[in-house]
Structure 1
Amino acid sequence: MTVVRQVQVTFDCAEPERVARFWSAVLGYEHRGTACVDPTGVGPRLYFQRVPEGKVVKNRVHLDVRVGTGLVGAQRVDALEAECARLMALGAVRVRLLPADEENESCLVMQDIEGNEFCLD
């Protein structure tokens, strides 16, 4: 028997409302207090909860923002760089470009406004 469940991704953070606004702008989601919701109902709900401790290590799970799907080579890197520039204007930080290799296309590692890693893929 197949069971399909909805998934909510929860982020620990210091400023939930601020981080929710950031991710709503990144993904085109609706901002709802300390959460953001896909207006199409397809993507997962993102919830941001306040925690007292700060971020001290690399994320064990991260989001991939899919902006280069179907693109390869320079065309893919150009799409990643364009989205990177847009997200930096929102407060994101560029970490590094991981160039294509034998197994993977290029992706760009970034951090959100509280230092959580994510990738432009």
Structure 2
Amino acid sequence: MSNVRQVQVTFDCADPRALSLFWNEVLGYQLPPPPPGFGSWDEFAATLPPEQRNSASACVDPAGVGPRLFFQRVPEGKSAKNRVHLDVRAAPGLEGEERMAALEAECERLVALGAARQQRHEPRPPLSGGFIVMADPEGNEFCLD
């Protein structure tokens, strides 16, 4: 019998819907289906009191393999560097200049979606193949690896 558990990664944020849509684009994820009886999340949200609308959102791997991401609205803004972050595997198996070119191309795509580039780290074999530190639209750090 296995004790392996699935994990969900939760983000505190100001705009759950917008942040979940950003991460859908980054990862190729999608919104989960709306609750039974509703044709869309917007239809469901219309049934909520205004103060509860956009209080949470999620995105899921359409293949059901990757972890679910959950976004919850909180009143305070981000105040410090993340202690845990996502590494988005944008260049698996690539090395050297080819790897860094693939990371740069993905960085450009994500900046166009609202991410911010923070710092490029050059390859340092055998410890690192090189990576780019980014921030999502609400300032949560992540790496292109």
TM-score when normalising by structure 1: 0.96
Structure 2 SS opposite 1:85: helix
RMSD of equivalent CA atoms: 1.0
**Residues 49-64 of structure 1: matches in 2 within 5 Å?**
49-64=72-87
**Residues 34-73 of structure 1: matches in 2 within 5 Å?**
34-73=57-96
Q: Distance in 1 between matches of 2:124 and 2:68?
A: 33
In structure 1, what residue type is equivalent to 2:142?
Answer: F
Unaligned runs of 5+ residues in structure 2 are 33-40, 42-56
1:107 and 2:131 are equivalent in the alignment: yes
- Please tell me whether Structure 1 or Structure 2 has the larger radius of gyration of its CA atoms: 2
Superposed displacement of residue 3, structure 1: 0.8
In structure 2, what residue type is equivalent to 1:99?
Answer: E
Unaligned runs of 5+ residues in structure 1 are none
Structure 1 SS opposite 2:94: coil
Q: Percent of counterpart pairs with the same letter? A: 62
In structure 2, what residue type is equivalent to 1:117?
Answer: E
Q: Distance in 2 between matches of 1:96 and 1:6?
A: 31
Q: Distance in 1 between matches of 2:29 and 2:133?
A: 21
**Misfit runs of 4+, over 2 Å:** none
Query: Aligned to 1:88, which of 96, 105, 111?
Result: 111
In structure 2, what residue type is equivalent to 1:110?
Answer: M
Tell me the equivalent position of 1:7: 7
Q: Distance in 1 between matches of 2:80 and 2:13?
A: 13
Bigger strand fraction: 1
Query: Could you list the per-position Cα deviations for residues 57-98 of structure 1 after superposition, in whole angstroms to 9, with x for gaps in the alignment?
Result: 000100000011111100000000000010011000000111
